[in-house]
A and B are shown apart, each in its own frame.
Chain A
Amino acid sequence: MKARVATVWLDGCSGCHMSFLDMDERLVELAEKADIVYGPLADTKEFPENVDVTLVEGAVSSEEDLHKILIIRKNSRIVVSLGDCAVTSNVPSMRNSVGTDAILFRAYRENATHALQIPDKVIPKLLPRAVPVHEVVKVDVFIPGCPPSADTIFEAVMGLLTGQKADLASLTRFGA
């Protein structure tokens, strides 16, 4: 039976997902072992149950991120922090020492010339800090890199699907 793999995009730039796509023809090899059951690359609205491996891109930064990551943890056997934003909170964390109010004011009032208002409808509220995924839920595998290379992602994911764990420290690093 094929493994059920999900990918998730929290507070990140989607660069990790681009790197995932950069696996090119090896995606076919991956598809022989796993189905992508949820993610920006699949047309599914709700995070499904009984997921084997979930790759999480991005820091936990908004109330929606927090809501999602708790469901992801509950429904996933293995949670993988994919990339520096998930692993270290990286660039999204640069707002942490400034404060949420100050950063919203700068973006939506100071640096805007039209419709000066801080949005409070539809888009999710920011948490006081953008934090790494493992500060919120237990994370099983860490893949640092900004973004991790396609080779690294392939080795890591295939390792998880075949039970032969990849030596990630030798493949990638913070900022790679």
Chain B
Amino acid sequence: MSVKTLVIDGKDVSGNDNQTVMEVARENGIRIPALCHLDGLTPVGACRMCVIEVKGLNKLLPACVTRIEEGMEVSTNSDRLQRYRRTILELLFSERNHICSVCVSNGHCDLQGLAARHGVTHVSVPYRYPSCPVDATHSRFILDHNRCILCTRCVRVCDEVEGAHTWDVMGRGIEARVITDLNQQWGTSGSCTSCSKCVHVCPTGALSEKGKSVAEMAKHREFLPYLKQMREDHR
């Protein structure tokens, strides 16, 4: 392991060569927005909210999966990046039916929170209004595809932390959907342990506990870095 030095937003910083730009930025108090990324899960670079500019490269890189390099000069918050992030958020809102006012996660939602922080006061692209099913067959939880942004946090936490791999993604592009087991009703899943980890890492109201009404579904994610740390310590 060797130490590498780089510049992020004009600040001289350093990190180990196996660290990502996102990790080193956070260690140094520089906040790069993220949506699919969650501490404790393998980063996948799916949502693109964490895009950064690197001097000498004309393409943008996702900070959550980009390893630091010696001498790198990173910009995390330019006007262009802000504009792209707003567009990403608007596209996410337009893709499914995110009705914040009647959502279980109103006030606790990562998508809603990021929109507020990035000054998204309206969605400039036309809404799609797709017809999306709700799966309420599980005895304790509900899957509402209307609110899903395909971040795959549920897929990763179920596979990497719980070890059940109940969740996966089926279909391509705009037709992609998260599924349980072999695309069957969640209530009939033989692999689901009902641990609720997926529900709590879900950034929106796509996964919720039954019995929760509007704005009642606060998520608790403290367990994730804790479980990860415990496992690493016992390795």
Q: Contact between A129 and B129 (Cβ–Cβ < 8 Å)?
A: yes
Which among B103, B107, B121 is the interface contact of A169 at CB below 8 angstroms?
A: B121
Please state if B121 and A142 are interface contacts (CB–CB under 8 Å): yes
B88-141 contacts to A (CB < 8 Å): 93, 97-103, 106-107, 112, 115-116, 118-124, 126-127, 129-132
A134 within 8 A of B: yes
Contacts of A135 in B (CB 8 A): 126-127
Which chain A residues in 87-135 approach chain B with CB under 8 Å?
Answer: 87-91, 93-94, 96-98, 129, 131-132, 134-135
B121 touches A97 (CB 8 A): no
Known contacts: A96-B129, A97-B132, A175-B112. The answer to whether A90 contacts B119 by CB under 8 A is: no
Size of the A side of the interface (Cβ < 8 Å), in residues, is 27
Please count how many residues in chain B sit with their CB below 8 Å of the partner chain's CB atoms. Answer: 26
Secondary structure type dominating chain B contacts: loop
B196 to chain A, nearest CB (A): 24
Q: Tell me if A97 and B122 are in contact (CB < 8 A).
A: no
- In the assembly, what is the distance between CA of A134 and CA of B124, in Å? 8
CB B117 to nearest CB in A, in angstroms, measures 8
Known contacts A96-B129, A97-B97, A97-B129; is-contact A91 B116 (Cβ 8 Å): no
Q: How far is the CA of A168 from the CA of B100 in the complex (A)?
A: 17
Interface of A is mostly: mixed
B112's contact among A91, A94, A97, A174, by CB below 8 Å, is which? A174
* Residues of A close to B118: CB separation below 8 A: 169
- Asked whether A173 lies within 8 Å of B122 as measured between CB atoms, the reply is no
Complex interface: chain A residues within 8 A of B129 (CB): 93, 96-97, 129
Q: Is the CB of B100 within 8 A of A175?
A: yes
A96, A129, A175 — which one has the most chain B CB atoms within 10 A of its CB?
A175
A88 with B123: CB separation less than 8 A: yes
Is A79 interfacial (CB 8 A cutoff)?
Answer: no
A93 to B99, CA, bound (A): 9
List CB contacts (< 8 Å) of B16-59 with chain A. Answer: none
